[in-house]
């Protein structure tokens, strides 16, 4: 057993009011989710592929979780594929469709502001397997124009992938409009909805998507589990082979406790969505207004209106993002510069670069993302902390 070093203290143990404002990176697991998961670690530990009663109890839980998620997405249970995370769901969607339709075409359309699970997978398909990838530009707010998507389509286009909401700047993309274009041209349409899962509508019929990626830890579920919605009839080559789990689309024994946790977390998030979003929007506006007033030169990034309810992001001239994050950590506030998957990277954000921000300004990126537990008092404290940290960094 790995035990914590007794001589090490938590970095926030001596702080009066540690404040977590990095919910786009990950969220705490809801106690109701933990309670739902616990029996499947111990009492109901069976392998859902086993025929005996232990296996059948686990299988029933797996089926219930699949039905719960399908109902939320307005999908069929057999259209839900469980994975290990949102990144795996993205990988399976892109590679699975690309290889399945390779005989028909080799052209993929995406945007330059996608998560690296999309961008790096597309780049590998391009470099190593001969696919052609068009990255349609976005505007200053990070919004892609559906007409630009339409103009990028060729006779060889087989897949379009556009994220639902951006993880770094919170911008929500016009999925339904893009879906109409893809449907009219008989092109498979995928969306990375990892950031959107807990906050936006997930009705796949209204959105018009053929594939949708989700990750549980973004909406108060456990890390290490995700899902991919695959519309019936969508060609998909499995990327992980072995057993016949997930209707032979993703081999490996299903992680029943985590899948139960994911379904429970998504059900809670979607049932409480309207109330939660209204509260988060109010706190977000308080945070945005406070920082723009208190920090000279600070600029809001992303769409000022069509953005995730708890998401605020800025570029702050005269300060470096990583240094602001470290200074805020010492002040008891958890923040980030952008995607947790690229934290500490030497290059400025690829998202901000695609939106037209100069490298020197993009290096001053700061992201503050709210969650269920945050309060007005915490937002006020965070605004003051950001102002103090930036002022000290600028004086050096």
Q: What is the DSSP string of 112-165?
A: TTS-HHHHHHHHHHHHHH--EEEE--B-TTSPBPHHHHHHH--TTEEEEE--SB
Instruction: Count the neighbouring beta carbons within 10 Å of the beta carbon of residue 13.
Output: 8
For 331-389, the pLDDT digits (tens) are 999 999 976 555 555 678 999 999 999 999 999 999 999 999 999 999 999 999 999 99
Plot region of 293 (φ>0 → left; ψ -120 to 50 → alpha; else → beta): alpha
Q: What is the DSSP string of 295-351?
A: STT-EE-S-SSSB-TTEEEEE-TTS-HHHHHHHHHHTTEE-BSS-GGGTT-SSPPHH
Phi, psi of 361 (to 5 degrees): -75, -40
Q: Distance between CA atoms of 354 and 331, rounded to whole angstroms?
A: 32
The answer to whether residue 341 is catalytic is: yes
Token pair listed for 355: 């939106």
Catalytic residue among 176, 289, 341, 343: 341
Q: Work out the burial of residue 38: count CB atoms within 10 Å of its CB; fewer than 13 is exposed, 13-18 middle, 19 or more buried.
A: middle
The CATH code of the domain at 19-29+273-395 is 3.90.1150.10
Q: What is the pLDDT along the chain (396 residues), one digit of tens a residue?
A: 334 443 434 444 455 579 999 999 999 999 999 999 999 999 999 999 999 999 999 999 999 999 999 999 999 999 999 999 999 999 999 999 999 999 999 999 999 999 999 999 999 999 999 999 999 999 999 999 999 999 999 999 999 999 999 999 999 999 999 999 999 999 999 999 999 999 999 999 999 999 999 999 999 999 999 999 999 999 999 999 999 999 989 989 999 999 999 999 999 999 999 999 999 999 999 999 999 999 999 999 999 999 999 999 999 999 999 999 999 999 999 999 976 555 555 678 999 999 999 999 999 999 999 999 999 999 999 999 999 999 999 987
Residue span(s) of the chain under CATH 3.90.1150.10 come to: 19-29+273-395
Q: Distance between CA atoms of 12 and 18, rounded to whole angstroms?
A: 6
Residues contacting residue 80 through CB under 8 Å, at least 6 positions apart: 66, 69, 70, 73, 227, 228, 229, 230
Token pair listed for 210: 């053929």
The CATH code of the domain at 31-271 is 3.40.640.10
| Direct distance between the N- and C-terminal alpha carbons of the chain, in angstroms, rounded to an integer | 45
Residue span(s) of the chain under CATH 3.40.640.10 come to: 31-271
What's the pTM value of the predicted model, to 2 decimals? 0.93
Angle formed at CA 241 by CA 235 and CA 244, multiple of 5 degrees:
80
Plot region of 279 (φ>0 → left; ψ -120 to 50 → alpha; else → beta): alpha
Q: Work out the burial of residue 4: count CB atoms within 10 Å of its CB; fewer than 13 is exposed, 13-18 middle, 19 or more buried.
A: exposed
Q: Distance between CA atoms of 161 and 97, rounded to whole angstroms?
A: 11
Phi, psi of 164 (to 5 degrees): -75, -50
Q: Distance between CA atoms of 283 and 327, rounded to whole angstroms?
A: 22
Q: Distance between CA atoms of 167 and 310, rounded to whole angstroms?
A: 11
Please list the residues that pair with 312 across neighbouring strands: 368
């Amino acid at each position: 057993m790995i035990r914590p070093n007794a001589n090490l203290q938590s970095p926030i143990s001596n702080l009066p009011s540690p404040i977590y404002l990095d919910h786009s990176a990950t969220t705490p697991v809801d106690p109701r989710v933990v309670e739902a998961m616990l029996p499947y670690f111990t009492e109901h530990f069976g392998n859902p592929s086993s025929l005996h009663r232990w296996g059948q109890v686990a299988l029933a839980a797996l089926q219930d979780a699949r039905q719960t998620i399908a109902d939320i997405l307005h999908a069929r249970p057999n259209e839900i594929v469980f994975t290990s995370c949102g990144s795996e769901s993205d990988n399976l969607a892109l590679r699975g469709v690309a290889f399945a339709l390779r005989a028909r075409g080799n052209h993929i359309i995406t945007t330059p502001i996608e998560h690296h699970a999309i961008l790096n997978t597309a780049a590998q398909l391009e470099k190593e397997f001969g696919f052609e990838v068009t990255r349609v530009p976005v505007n200053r707010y990070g919004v892609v124009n559906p007409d630009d998507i339409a103009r990028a389509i060729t006779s060889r286009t087989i897949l379009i992938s556009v994220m639902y909401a951006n993880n770094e700047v919170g911008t929500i993309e016009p999925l339904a409009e893009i879906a109409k274009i893809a449907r009219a041209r008989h092109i498979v349409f995928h969306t990375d909805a990892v950031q959107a899962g807990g906050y936006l509508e997930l009705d796949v019929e209204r959105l018009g998507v053929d594939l949708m990626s989700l990750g549980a830890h973004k909406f108060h579920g456990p890390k290490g589990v995700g899902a991919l919605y695959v519309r019936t009839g969508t060609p998909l080559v499995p990327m992980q082979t072995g057993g016949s789990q997930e209707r032979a689309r993703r081999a490996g024994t299903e992680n029943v406790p985590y899948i139960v946790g994911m379904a429970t977390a998504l059900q809670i998030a979607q049932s409480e969505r309207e109330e939660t979003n209204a509260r988060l929007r109010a706190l977000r506006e308080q945070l945005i207004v406070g920082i723009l007033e208190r920090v000279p030169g600070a600029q809001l990034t992303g769409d000022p209106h069509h953005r995730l309810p708890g998401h605020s992001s800025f570029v702050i001239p005269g300060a470096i993002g990583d240094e602001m994050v470290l200074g805020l950590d010492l002040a008891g506030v958890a923040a980030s510069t952008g995607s947790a998957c690229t934290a500490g990277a030497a290059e400025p954000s690829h998202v901000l670069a695609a939106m037209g921000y100069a490298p020197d300004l993009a290096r001053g990126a700061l992201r503050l993302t709210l969650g269920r537990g945050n309060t007005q008092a915490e937002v006020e404290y965070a605004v003051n902390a950001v102002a103090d940290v930036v002022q000290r960094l600028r004086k050096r």
